[in-house]
Amino acid sequence: MAEVKSLRPVKREPAAIAIASQLTQAIMDGSLPPGHQLGEADLAAQLGVSRGPLREAMQRLVQQGIAVSEPHRGVFVTKLDEEDVRDIYFTRSAMEAAACRLVLRQDPQRTADRLAKAHRAMATAARRGNMTGLSAADMEWHQTLVAESGSRRLARIAETLFVETRMCLSALTHRHPDPQAMVEEHAALIEALRAADEPRLLTLLEAHMRDGVERLTGREGSPE
Amino acid sequence: MAEVKSLRPVKREPAAIAIASQLTQAIMDGSLPPGHQLGEADLAAQLGVSRGPLREAMQRLVQQGIAVSEPHRGVFVTKLDEEDVRDIYFTRSAMEAAACRLVLRQDPQRTADRLAKAHRAMATAARRGNMTGLSAADMEWHQTLVAESGSRRLARIAETLFVETRMCLSALTHRHPDPQAMVEEHAALIEALRAADEPRLLTLLEAHMRDGVERLTGREGSPE
DNA sequence: GGATTGTCGAATGTCTACAACTTTTCGTCG
DNA sequence: CGACGAAAAGTTGTAGACATTCGACAATCC
């Protein structure tokens, strides 16, 4: 048979998946802010679907913890307080540290190459002062790290955590990080990965996450 | 008004939640074996609900990864291969290690006490040769550990991982672990926790998880 | 005979409509 | 001004119908 490589299987995702993606996107970029109610009638009309698939999509968000359901009242976008921010970054830290350990026993160089690609996008965005692009490149970087681990479960868990991270970020658009520091931190991480220096990699990662928390909570932990 | 603390608001959980719980339970104990199709019509009739809430519940399972959906074919209980077993235990290891670190910076003694309670149940079940009770106590022990960490996200993640763990166990009921070893391993973990000896605790935990994998995959790592 | 094509049944995916129940709102009365 | 209670609005659950799609089997063609 003639194998035609450019032909890929037609992907037709069910409505519930598509709806969940759109809702997630809207929640991440702040269009649906924390505490906002996901009214069934409104959303169904707006998305051009019926309540059935919409409710299925909402159950997915609730299961992820991105939304919460209050019986007979509706489902609402989850509100994140300062404790949540710490929890998110702590859990991310544990997840990504685990991903690092997996990457180190596989192909650190290849992973480093792929991370470097995201890192270049980050550096470019930083140079141009493109903060949204910087944030996107940051997410891309961490997503690549987890994907490279090859662990389905880490990938699934990280997906939710990244959504929550972006919820935090879009809620505090005014507090801008130091782009230069961000670029440098990721560069150091890649370098440690290339050197296959596990202790240093994990230490840098933990510090990186701590920076993330302090950036969002008001860096209460920094003496001088 | 007279405040009566023993009076709690009547909890009426939505059908989708109740259905998801029942399905999860059936999947854990092997009534719904891996690969089995969750037919809508059958299940709906069997559970006495309509297809709507049932589909919502199934979406939750799919989101958790306990079931997989093949468009226009149906949703099926996830099949777990040997790689999945390793992934589950690796992820659990990372999760529970993180929980240990959190517990250590809170109230290790109180946590140790609560773990000791589950441990006594474990020892009793072991003495009587009650393998299902032993397995239940084991799950209870680890669930307690994660709950004591106080992290919502770790708890949510662990919930799914525990379901997957029990799926593995019920698929291999013939391969029974050494009950005595199991009791001793948990005792050592509690002891390390009481001593607030973080390095030892984490080392023991990792070894405990490695044991779990080897028990299920056929202990390929043991030469003789 | 073997491979392709057409057809059919069954299950999923989706929609509309309706009934039941809760919460909220709002007007009224004390 | 606050309490009570009915109406309104929203969510939750059900039922039925139809379209779409998949797997299997039968018919057809070389």
pLDDT for B224 equals: 38
Residue of B103 and A171 predicted with greater confidence = B103
pLDDT for B10 equals: 53
Residue contact A12–B71, C-beta within 8 A = yes
Distance, CA of B168 to C1' of D14, in Å: 37
> Closest Cα to residue A101, out of A22, A20, A196?
A196
CATH class entry, domain A15-77: mainly alpha
In angstroms, the Cα distances linking A179 to A132, A138, A192, B143 are 11, 11, 20, 40
pLDDT at residue A219 above 90? no
Alpha-carbon distance of A201 to B89, in angstroms, equals 23
pLDDT for B11 equals: 57
Span B80-94, average pLDDT: 96
B/e letters for B56-90, b = 16+ CB within 10 Å, e = fewer, are: bbbbbbbbbbbbebeeeeebbbbebeeebbebbbb
Residue contact B87–A13, C-beta within 8 A = no
pLDDT at residue A10 above 90? no
pLDDT for A7 equals: 67
Q: Which chain B residue lies closest to A53 (C-alpha atoms)?
A: B56
Residue contact A69–B14, C-beta within 8 A = yes
Q: Which residues touch A104 (CB under 8 Å, ≥6 apart)?
A: A193, A196, A198, A201
Q: Chain-wide mean pLDDT for chain A?
A: 91
Distance, CA of A205 to C1' of C25, in Å: 52
Residue A25: phi and psi, rounded to 5, are -60, -45
pLDDT in tens, B126-151: 999 898 899 999 999 999 999 999 99
Measured between CA atoms, how close is B71 to chain A, in angstroms?
7
Q: Which chain A residue lies closest to B12 (C-alpha atoms)?
A: A71
Average the pLDDT over each of A103-112, A149-158, A175-184, B29-38 and give the range with the smallest value. Answer: A175-184
Alpha-carbon distance of A215 to A42, in angstroms, equals 36
pLDDT at residue B223 above 80? no
Residue A153 C-alpha from the chain's centroid = 15
Helix axes B108-127, B131-149, angle to 10 degrees: 170
Distance, CA of A95 to C1' of C11, in Å: 39
pLDDT in tens, A98-124: 999 999 999 999 999 999 999 999 999
Does B157 touch chain A if contact means CB atoms closer than 8 Å? yes
pLDDT for B1 equals: 43
Nucleotide nearest to B43 (CA to C1'): C11
**What Rg do the C-alpha atoms of chain B give, in angstroms?**
19
Alpha-carbon distance of A97 to B94, in angstroms, equals 8
| pLDDT-derived band at A224, boundaries 50, 70, 90 | very low
Residue A37: phi and psi, rounded to 5, are -85, 135
- Give the helix/strand (H/E) hosting B83: helix B82-104
Measured between CA atoms, how close is B197 to chain A, in angstroms?
19
* Whether A37 CB is under 7 Å from strand D: yes
B/e letters for B175-197, b = 16+ CB within 10 Å, e = fewer, are: eebebeebbebbebbbebbbeee
Residue contact B151–A14, C-beta within 8 A = no
Are the folds of B15-77 and B82-217 the same?
no
- CATH fold of the domain at B82-217: Four Helix Bundle (Hemerythrin (Met), subunit A) (1.20.120)
Domain map (residue ranges) of chain A:
15-77, 82-217
Q: Chain-wide mean pLDDT for chain B?
A: 90
> Closest Cα to residue B183, out of B107, B106, B123, B125?
B123
Span A181-207, average pLDDT: 96
| pLDDT-derived band at A12, boundaries 50, 70, 90 | confident
- Select the residue from A86, A88, A146, A153 to test the B interface by mutation, using most B Cβ atoms within 10 A: A153
Helix axes B179-194, B108-127, angle to 10 degrees: 170
Measured between CA atoms, how close is B42 to chain A, in angstroms?
19
> Closest Cα to residue B212, out of B154, B145, B162?
B162
Residues facing A69 on adjacent strands: A75
Does B170 touch chain A if contact means CB atoms closer than 8 Å? no
One-letter amino acid at A146 equals: V
| pLDDT-derived band at A176, boundaries 50, 70, 90 | confident
- Give the helix/strand (H/E) hosting B118: helix B108-127
Are A155 and A149 in contact by the 8 Å Cβ rule? The answer is: yes
Are B37 and B27 in contact by the 8 Å Cβ rule? The answer is: no
Alpha-carbon distance of B72 to B40, in angstroms, equals 12
| pLDDT-derived band at A136, boundaries 50, 70, 90 | very high
Measured between CA atoms, how close is A121 to chain B, in angstroms?
30
Q: Which chain A residue lies closest to B55 (C-alpha atoms)?
A: A56
Span A6-30, average pLDDT: 86
Q: Which residues touch A28 (CB under 8 Å, ≥6 apart)?
A: A163, A166, A167, A170
Distance, CA of B10 to C1' of C15, in Å: 34
Residue contact A59–B57, C-beta within 8 A = yes
Q: Let me know the angle formed at the C-alpha of A129 by A126 and A135, rounded to the nearest 5 degrees.
A: 60
Does B95 touch chain A if contact means CB atoms closer than 8 Å? yes
Distance, CA of B218 to C1' of D5, in Å: 69
Residue contact B56–A59, C-beta within 8 A = yes
Residue contact B151–A90, C-beta within 8 A = yes
